[in-house]
Chains A and B, each alone.
Chain A
C-alpha cells in the first residue's frame, strides 16, 4: 500500500536505510530550524571516544593551535603503531554537523581505518561553529589548522610533501573551501580531498534540494538554517566567498584528486554531481559515487547496512591508494 503524497516524485530510500530512519529520526530530525540548534548540539555531540581509541590501539595527542585571527582552537592527532613507514601521511579531517553542531570526533569512527590500516596521522580540527562564529571563522580555522600541520610536520612525524583533506557534509564544505584557498593562496601541498555529501552551495537551485522536505536527514529547511547561521543576510547574495560556498568558484581547475560521494535520496545530490562535472570540464581528477536510496550521512548513521558498508569500503579503497605506497 502506498500512501498518497504531495510534492515532487523522489527516489525511495533503500529498505534497510529506511528502517534505520526509525531510529535516526529520534536524534536527528529531518527538519532542523534555528530553534533546534540547542537540541542538535546535545544529540549530535560525539560519544566518549577514549574506549574506541584504546580498543583500536590509537594514540591521541591534543594540541592548541592558532585559528582564525590567532585565537586558540583545539586539534587532536590520532596515530597508531602500525609498522608503516614514517613519517606518516597526514590527513586533515573536518567533521559534519551543519556548521552549527558536532565536534571534532563526530562521525570519526568511519575514518579511523585510515589510521589503523593505512598508517595515516589523522588530524581533526575543532573549528568554531556558527551562528556564534559566522563566516569566515569556521573555514579559516580549518585553513589555519592545515597550515599548522604543514609547519609542524617534522615534530608531528608527518610528511610535509603532501597532506590529504577529508570532510563530511559541513566538513566537506570547509574542506572544499580550504582546497580552493590552498590553490589560490599557494598553501601547503595537497595529495587529495574526500568530500562526503558536501554542503557546497548557499544559493540553492538544485532539483534535489526540493525533493526531500520533511524526510530523511537534512532537508531544505535544515540547509537554510545552516547557511543562514554561517552567512546571515549575505546568503544567496553577490558577496559570498567561494571559500565559504565552493560551488560558487568559477574555476575548479588546479584542485587535487577529489573523491565525492552522495546519496540519490538527499538534497546534495545535484550539488555534488555538478561539482564533479565541473572539475572534469576543467580537466580535473574527480571520482563520483551516487548511492541509490541513500539519505544524507547514511554511512555515518547506518554503517551496518549494505549501502552503508559499500559507501565505506569504496571510500577506503580510494583513500588506500593515496596513502599506502
Chain B
C-alpha cells in the first residue's frame, strides 16, 4: 500500500494521505482485527516491517509489508514503554518516511483500543461500563473486571477517531458507538496526569456505577471543544453540562433560538461569550477590544432578541445556558476536518 500512497501523491501532490491512513486504521479498529493484521497494515503503509513489544510478553512481534511474521533482531527491538506497557516501531534502514509518525500513532491507538492490557474481555469491559442500556449488575461486574474501585471516581475521555494525540492518558481505551458515529473513549482517574488530544472532551468524575453520566458530560464537553485547542473538561462548567438538553431532535428552547438569531450577526457569538465571562460592560468592552458605546449598542440588540434581563441575576445563568446549548447544537468538531487541515497536521 506504500506504492499506492506514492501513486496517489504523484497524481495529486495535495492529496489527503493522512486522512486515508487514519481511515484505514479506523476500519481496522471497528473490524476488531488481530495484532498481526494491525502490524501488517502499518508495515504495508510504511513499506517496511512494523513491530510491537510489550511488557511481560516474552517475544516482540514483527510483521513484514507482505504480512509475514518476521524474526526480531534484539538490537533493533526497542524497550516497551513503562507508562503504556508497549512500544510500536517501524524497522526502516534509511530515513523516516513521510507518513511514519502518523502510521505509528494510529497503530498505537488501534492496539490500545484493541487491548488495554491484552485481552478481549477487558476491551469489552469499557463498552459495557459506558452502556446505559446494560443492567446495573452487568456494569458493576465489568467495572470490577477493569479494576475500578467502588470508592473512587473516574472520568470518561472522548475524542473523534481523527483526533490528534500528543500523549495518551493512562487507562483502558476503546472505540464506542455514539449518535455521531464511532468515538475513541478512554477512562481515567478523577485526578489525572495531563495528556493532550485535540479535539477532546473530558467528562465529570463519577463512581464506577455512574460512568454513563461522565460519558454524557464528556460528549457535551467534546462538542464544546475545538480542533487545535486544549481538551475541554466538564468540570469547568460545574453541573451545567449535565443540565444542558442537547438532544438534536428536541425543539430548542426560545432562549436558544434567540441566541441563534444573535449568532447570525458577525459580532454576535463573541459578544455573548464575553458578556457571560465578564462582570461589567467596561470589562466586556475591553475584552472584545471595542468602544463601550459600541458594546452598549450591541447589548441593546442582544437584550431585545432575548427579551429578558440577561445581564442581571438569574438572567446571566439563562444566557450562559442558552449560549452553551447553541454551541453544542451547532458544533462541527465531530466532522472530519477538511483535507487542507489534514495535510498541515
Contact = CB atoms under 8 A, between A and B. Distances in A.
Contact of A22 (B10, B11, B24, B181): B24
A15 B28 contact: yes
Nearest to B39: A304
Contact of A18 (B1, B27, B44, B181): B27
A15 B30 contact: yes
Chain B's interface size range is 35 or more
A10 interface: no
A182 B324 CA distance: 76
Interface in B56-93: 64-68
A22 B44 contact: no
A47 B3 contact: yes
Interface in B172-204: 177, 181-182
Given A305-B67, A309-B66, A26 B4 contact: yes
B31 interface: yes
Given A43-B11, A306-B37, A309-B66, A23 B31 contact: no
B25 A26 contact: no
B67 A303 contact: yes
Q: Dominant SS at the B interface?
A: helix
A304 B31 contact: no
B8 A27 contact: yes
Contacts of B27: 15, 18-19, 21-22
A302 interface: yes
Contacts of A67: none
B7 A43 contact: yes
Interface string A2-21: 00000000000001101111
A20 B177 contact: no
Residue of A19, A24, A27, A47 most packed against chain B (CB within 10 A): A19
B20 A18 contact: no
Contacts of A84: none
Contact of B24 (A20, A39, A47, A303): A20
Contacts of B40: 16, 304-305
B277 interface: no
Contact of A309 (B20, B67, B181): B67
Contacts of B3: 47
A302 B24 CA distance: 12
A47 B11 CA distance: 13
A236 B3 CA distance: 37
A42 interface: yes
Chain A's interface size range is 20 to 34
B32 A304 contact: no
A18 B45 contact: no
Contacts of B20: 22-23, 26
A23 B25 CA distance: 11
A304 B68 CA distance: 8
A192 B11 CA distance: 38
A306 B67 contact: yes
Contacts of B1: 20, 23-24, 301-302, 304
Interface in A158-182: none
A304 B41 contact: yes
Given A22-B23, A306-B37, A27 B4 contact: yes
A21 B1 CA distance: 10
A86 interface: no
Interface in A179-218: none
A317 interface: no
Given A23-B4, A23-B5, A309-B66, A16 B11 contact: no
A20 B31 CA distance: 12
Interface in A1-60: 1, 15-16, 18-24, 26-27, 39, 42-43, 47
5 contacts: A18-B31, A26-B20, A301-B4, A303-B66, A304-B43
Given A20-B24, A22-B27, A26-B8, 17 more contacts: A15-B37, A16-B28, A16-B37, A19-B26, A21-B27, A22-B26, A23-B20, A23-B45, A27-B7, A42-B10, A43-B8, A47-B3, A302-B44, A305-B37, A308-B67, A309-B67, A309-B68
Interface of A: 1, 15-16, 18-24, 26-27, 39, 42-43, 47, 301-306, 308-309
